[in-house]
Structure formats: structure tokens, C-alpha cells
Structure 1
């Protein structure tokens, strides 16, 4: 028998559980200045919500079990890996300017609450009484199969790329060396791509009862509306905490410190930012296609003349000398348009 808790979509109860769960770990992290549980708290929160909503539903059909297990497996793997990594590194540099400031640190945890609750929505609503009251199609629809296949692809990409990069950095004495093997030969961020694929795969499975005409009315709309979960994750990784924090800032740091800049510039030019693609073809692709279809938007591109503090300093010195000459730095941008190169080079 299903449990009716606050509302029949389990939105309120999962939100309250998430707030309580995150505040519990926040209290530990802030009091002890302890970074090691932050990502663990995020990943395991998905597991908690999936278990509770599945248990509350009272209906354990194959689709609910598969979707719930998928998000639990993903959450456990992610939290386990991040916990292992932070135990090895000792601290999380993201919180250097936050861990001593209550509200700034709390702000991160509030955002994590919203992330967990929103991304969990497809499974939460699938397990809710307003959906399970309807007859359910047998597991194995085209969307179910596609979802399982996509989940497997995404999970393999995310898990293997995380492990590959960790091993690569652990074995290299030069921490600025470029990881361009395995999945990283086809995309600069295979873990992000895998994570996005995983969440859309889970959504495809969860929406099957509505897509196949079994669920009606508001429940039908609610299932489709849960696409906000995978879309929110995608926006987060592309424009908030993922690519924007790594692409241009990472290139700027390499350029200014001259950490394998020439090699990295070539890597940028031949490797897709997110969507896996053969590097031999990507390198020759017109820049307009890279900037549109392949999502390498201008906000990610590093231009030394515009974004480098080193370049600005050199320009100021040259103006002070009054010689009117522009010294040509041997380090160039990885963007063919910035370098004045033909896009097919």
C-alpha cells in the first residue's frame, strides 16, 4: 500500500528530506572545516530519495525498480569516487574562500539541495501515488530499451573517464600534463557528457507510462515536466559549475604559466569540448560548426589578447617604450579564428 506524504507527487517530502540531509552534513563540514563529506552528501542524497520514494510507492513494477536502481547506482558511484579522491587530495580548493564564512559556505549547500531535488524529479514522480494509481505498461518499451542503452553508455563514459584521469594524474610527476588518451581523445569532458546522457536516459525510462498513453491528466503533465531535471543538470555543467570554470580559466592558467601551452592549444583545436567526435575530423571542421552544433561557445574560448593578464602587461610595457611594435608571443590561442588561421588547418 502506497504512503501519501504531504502531496501525491512526493515533492514536498523529498524536498524536506533533502534539506535536512544536506543541513546535517553542512553542520559537520562548517563546524570541523571538513571538506571530505561535501560531495559524498550530494551523491548519497540521490540514493536516499530513490529508496524512500520507491518504498513509499507500494508498487514495485520493473520500470520503477530499474529507474530507481539506475539513479542509486549512479549516485553511489559518483559519491564513492569523489570521497576516495578527496581522501587522497586532503581538501577541496573550491571552498578555500568559503569554508570560514557561514553564509557563503551555506550558499553552496543550498545550491546542492536544489541540484539533488531537481535532478531526482523523474524518479520521484514516477514512484509517486499520482502516477502509480494508473496501469503501467510492461517494461521493455522502445523508450525503456533506449534508456537502458544510453544509461550504460553514459555510465561507462563517466566512470571510466573519472578513473582514467585520476590514474593519469597520479602517475604523472608533471601535474600539468595533458590527458588526451582514451575517452579524452574524443572529448575534453567525457565525464560531463556521460553524466548528461545518464540523466536523460533515466528520464526516458520514467516518462514511458505517459508517452505510451497509460498515465493521464495532471500526472501525464507531471511526468513530462520532470525533464527539468536533466535540463537543469545540463545547464549547470555547461554554464555554471562545469565548463565555464574549466575551459577559459584553465587555458588562461596554462598560457600565463606556459604549462605545455603549445601542446594544449593543439589539443583544444582537435578535440571536441563535450560531444565525442573523431579528433582527425574535428580538427578540420569549420569553426562555425564547432561554435554551434558542437557547443564550443565563445564563452569557453580563451583569447590571449583579450583574456591574458600577461598579454596586457606586455602591451602596457610596449606602449611605455613607445616603439610602436607589437611583440609576437610564441604562445597562441587554440582558436583558429583568434590566430588568424584558416579553419581547415
Structure 2
């Protein structure tokens, strides 16, 4: 990575880690004094984001500053300032969070000591562990693979906007007096019950993903794992939902909305994983291996789809069979026209390719459910998506496209295929729901 020499003191790894720990200790100590003076333990929430800023910029200046590290620091700073400002606006007009009130009642006479030790000092230690990937990046000047860096930055950006939009939607909802006492179940909150937490987790998993490309960076997986555990089990989702479970509307919300990860996202990940595994390994391995990959991913997709709507299981299976049949005819037609060639030059489409058709069909009721709104968009997505998939397969050496007709024919037929499949799926679901 390109170094920014005039910003960096270039200290050793142990010195950087030590100085950052000391700086973080004094930082949290000052916040604890402010909390004791204000009698507001929830100042710890506001201190959370800027604490990462402190770690990021201190380690960049003391370590081996690079352009990549500077970019990461800028993103962390934007996140920290937004989060701190959001929490300040939220907390200043309301009573202290019930979680802190419960702790303060429990501590009694030893309130100030416990506030420093069990809130601010503990939070500082947790913050330090979660920020380890940032420290690792600033103390290892090796060149970050550009595709790893940009994938990680894309993931961080997605997580940032997810968290920011979810926070904004919740703030606007709570400021609407006509919605007082009601539950927010629209916008991002209609897809998962905690989109703000999901966004934060995505960001820190993305930072770890970047650091994992450095020597021994993978070992810092403790950072996102710790944050995930804390959010899910300790300080985030669990106590919030325990407080809300007495509300009647919350029970219906839980039954229809996943907690953290939308099934559509998992469905898309399963299909993407199957696509990758079948193309990379299925095309090179035995028939049994291809069947096992396809069966495992197909079973996972079916389970997710029927978890929230088991009545349409038969429609999913019928759709998969139809997709497989149409896919077989389509691939046979491509082979007949000699616009695609496979390494083994079989007269039939390879099993690993055909296995993708039923897997793809199950995304129509989850990840690609939005296609029901526009046939034109469906046609274009089918055409361009197929071209991307086939060209990727050609780049990986599992298929050869014969110009000049291969690309336009694949675009046309896949556009028609997806449009027909979406229309058939819509009618099929309507028919099964009436029975």
C-alpha cells in the first residue's frame, strides 16, 4: 500500500496497540466523569462511535499510514459522527434507557464505581477488541488486494446506509404524535425487526473482511463475532424484545418478520453460493458432488420459503420442475445452434448447469419477488443477468460462447424465459392459494 509518510510516526506494532489502549482508557474515563456529573449512564451510547474514531486516527498516526487506511478512517469517522449525533438527539428528549435504569437500581450505593467499571471501562475494552481489524490494517502496510478492499468498502457502505435509513425511519415515526404507542412495521422495519443492528453488523464484518487479507488478519474474526454476540444476546435485540413481547401487536410482528436477516437475502446468498460452487467445483467434479451441492442449497431455499408461508410448498416444487424442463429445452436449443460449447462436448447440457434452473426459480418468491411489478424490467434483467452469468462461466473456463450470435440469442431467450416464468409463478401461487 502507498504510504503517507508525513502523517505517520511508524511505531512498532506493540507500541501502537499500547498507546491506543492508554488513549482509549483516558477517553472512557472522561466520559464516565461526565456521566456521573450529569447522572446519565446513557452517555456511554454517545461515546461509542467517537471511540472508534479515536482508535482509527491514533493508530493511523502512530502506525504506518496508507491511502487505503485513510479511506477506511474517513468512512469510520462519517459513521461515528452520524451515530453520535443521532443518539444525542434521541437521548436528550427522553428518560434514560430502561437498561441503564435497571443497572443503576441494582448498584445502589456503589453507583459511581460501578458506572465507571461496569459501563465505561467495560465498554472501552469491548470497543478495543471490536476495533482490532482497524489497528491491524494500520500496523501492516502490505498491499491490500484491490478487489478485497472494494468489496469490503461496498459492504461497509451498504451497512452504513442501512443503519442510517433505519435510524431515520424510527426517529420520524417516534416524532409523529399520531403514531404514539404504535409499532413501526413499515420501511426497512417491515423486512426485519432490527435493520439498524443489521446495518452495524454488516459494517464491522466488512472491516474484518478487509483485514483478513493481511497476514493472520483472519484470526481477528473475534471482532465481528463479539459484536454479533453482544447485539443479539446481551445489549441489543434480546433485552429490547423481552420488554416488547407483552404487546399484542409485537407477537404478530415476530411471526411475520425475521429478527435480523431477511430470508430474501439468505435465499439470494444460497443461490449465489450454489452458482459459484456448481460452476467452480461441480463442473470439475463427479455427478454425486453436483447433486449434493444442488440438493443442499435447494433444501435450504425451500426451508426458508416455507418457514413463513408453508401453504405454497407445492407451488414452489411445481415451479422448480417447470423451470428445469424449460431450462433443459433452452440449453438444448443453444447446443443445437452451436452458440455454446462445453469442455466435454456433450450433446446434452451438463448436470451442474441444469441444477441451477430449479435453484434460480426459488428466488422468484423471495430475492426477486419485485419482478412481479414490471414485465419490461423482468425481460431486461433476465437478458443482462444471463449474459453476465454465461460470460462469467466463459471466463472461468467452464463454457465457450461462439460469436457473433451467442450473446444476442442468450439475451433474447433468457429475457423471454424469465418473463414467462414470473407470469407462470404468479398464476401458480394464485391457483394454489385458492385450494
TM-score (norm: length of structure 2): 0.55
* Structure 2 counterpart of 1:28: 34
87, 90, 98: which is aligned to 1:82?
Answer: 87
Larger Rg: 2
Please tell me whether the aligned partners of residues 9 and 125 of structure 1 are also in contact (alpha carbons under 8 angstroms): no
Decide whether the 8 Å contact of 1:270 with 1:280 is kept in 2: no
Indicate how the Cα distance of structure 1 residues 282 and 177 shifts in structure 2: closer, same or farther if over 3 A, else same. Answer: farther
Aligned length: 260
Q: Deviations over 1:91-114 (max 9, x none)?
A: 333322445612332211122112
The equivalent position to 1:271 in structure 2, one of 252, 257, 278, is: 257
Match of 2:234 in 1: 240
Q: Deviations over 1:17-55 (max 9, x none)?
A: 111100111012113313563222221111111111112
Provide the alpha-carbon RMSD of the alignment: 2.5
Comparing 97-106 with 115-124, greater Cα deviation is found at 97-106
User: Are 1:114 and 2:125 matched, yes or no?
Assistant: yes
Q: Distance in 1 between matches of 2:205 and 2:310?
A: 28
Closer, same or farther: CA 272–285 of 1 in aligned 2, 3 Å: farther
Alignment counterpart, residue 308 of structure 2, candidates 283, 291, 296 = 283
* Equivalent residues of 1:46, 1:71 under 8 A apart: yes
Q: Distance in 2 between matches of 1:162 and 1:282?
A: 28
Structure 1 unpaired stretches of 5+? 211-219, 255-260, 287-345
Shift of 1:118: 1.2
Relative contact order, higher structure (CA 8 A, sep 6+):
1
Label 1:285 to 1:157 Cα distance change in 2 as closer, same or farther (>3 A): farther
Cα gap change, 1:6 to 1:20, in 2 (>3 Å): farther
Secondary structure at 2:158's aligned position in 1?
A: helix
Match of 1:169 in 2: 174
Q: Distance in 2 between matches of 1:146 and 1:34?
A: 39
- Alignment gaps of 5+ in structure 2: 265-303, 312-435
Question: Which of 64, 87, 95 matches 2:100?
Answer: 95
Paired residues of 2:13 and 2:63 also in contact (CA < 8 A): no
Displacement after TM superposition at 1:82 (Å):
0.5
1:185 to 174, 187, 190: 190
**Correspondence for 1:320:** none
Measure how far apart 1:4 and its partner are: 5.7
User: How many angstroms does 1:8 deviate by?
Assistant: 3.4
Give 1:195 deviation, angstroms: 0.6
* CA positional deviation for 1:58: 4.1
Structure 1 partner of 2:222? 228
Within a 5 Å distance, the mapping from 1:23-62 to structure 2 comes to: 23-35=29-41, 37-61=43-67
How far apart are the structure 2 equivalents of 1:282 and 1:266? 15
CA shift in 2, pair 1:193/1:111, >3 Å: same
Matches within 5 A, 1:152-163: 152-163=157-168
Deviating more after overlay: 274-283 vs 31-40: 274-283
| Residue of structure 2 equivalent to 1:194 | 199
Question: 2:260, 2:9 → 1: CA distance?
Answer: 41
Structure 1 residues 31 and 105: alpha-carbon distance in aligned structure 2, compared to 1, 3 A threshold = same
Q: 1:5 touches 1:13 (CA, 8 Å); kept in 2?
A: no
Greater shift, 107-116 or 169-178, is seen at 169-178
Equivalence for 1:341: none
| Separation in 2, partners of 1:224, 1:165 | 35
- Deviation, 1:11, is 2.0
* Higher mean C-alpha deviation, range 2-11 or range 141-150: 2-11
Greater CA deviation, 81-90 or 16-25?
81-90
Aligned 8 A contact 1:190 1:276 in 2: no
- For the residue of structure 1 that corresponds to 2:261, the secondary structure is coil
Compared CA separation, residues 27 and 90, structure 1 to 2 (3 A): same
Deviation per CA, 1:102-152: give whole Å up to 9, x if none.
Answer: 233221112211221111111111101xx22xx414x6x222222122112
- Quick check: 1:271–1:282 contact (8 Å CA) kept in 2? no
- Give 3-state SS (helix, strand or coil) of 2:262's partner: coil
